[in-house]
Amino acid sequence: MAVRQLIPVTDPVSPTLIEHRTDALRDPETGKMVQYYNHIHYEFAVPVGRVEALTYMDDSKRAIVTVPDGMGIDSTHAKNILAYLELRFERLDVRDESGNELLRWALSNEAGPQ
């Protein structure tokens, strides 16, 4: 039987911030919580601003990524950030700050992150 060996992966970039956040919406009349969001927020500094990624804890295999308008996904910075995120998530939805969808990526390699 072959022995599996762990191979360390060197990230091409590191986030400047990772925070565990929660947000809640309450009914103004009753004070009862009507919506609750539990998520991890990533930020990456880039020359034209910042790239943000958000993953909700109830859908933690997916990240929603927002890049600055005009940055696109073909720059070296974007490619490095997406490579970092591809190691951690099975699905990436990438959009610019104006909300335009730039990329939908889903892991198809069974040997990748699970």
User: Alpha-carbon torsion 21, 38, 55, 51, what sign?
Assistant: negative
pLDDT reported for residue 112: 41
Query: Has residue 57 been placed in a domain?
Result: yes
110 located within any domain: no
pLDDT band at 79 (very low <50, low <70, confident <90, very high): very high
Return the pLDDT at 105.
80
How many separate domains does the chain show? 1
Residue with tokens 């919406």: 25
**9 or 38, greater pLDDT:** 38
Provide the domain limits for residue 41: 17-105
Hey, how many other C-beta atoms are within 10 angstroms of the C-beta on 59? 11
Q: Is the pLDDT of residue 52 over 90?
A: yes
Task: Count the neighbouring beta carbons within 10 Å of the beta carbon of residue 19.
Answer: 10
Q: Give the model's pLDDT for residue 108.
A: 60
State pLDDT tens for residues 24-44.
999 999 999 999 999 999 999
Share of the chain above pLDDT 90, in %: 68
Residue 58 DSSP symbol: G
The answer as to whether 11 is a domain residue is no
Residue 17's pLDDT is 97
113 domain-assigned: no
Q: What is the pLDDT of residues 85-113, one digit of tens each?
A: 999 999 999 999 999 998 888 876 544 43
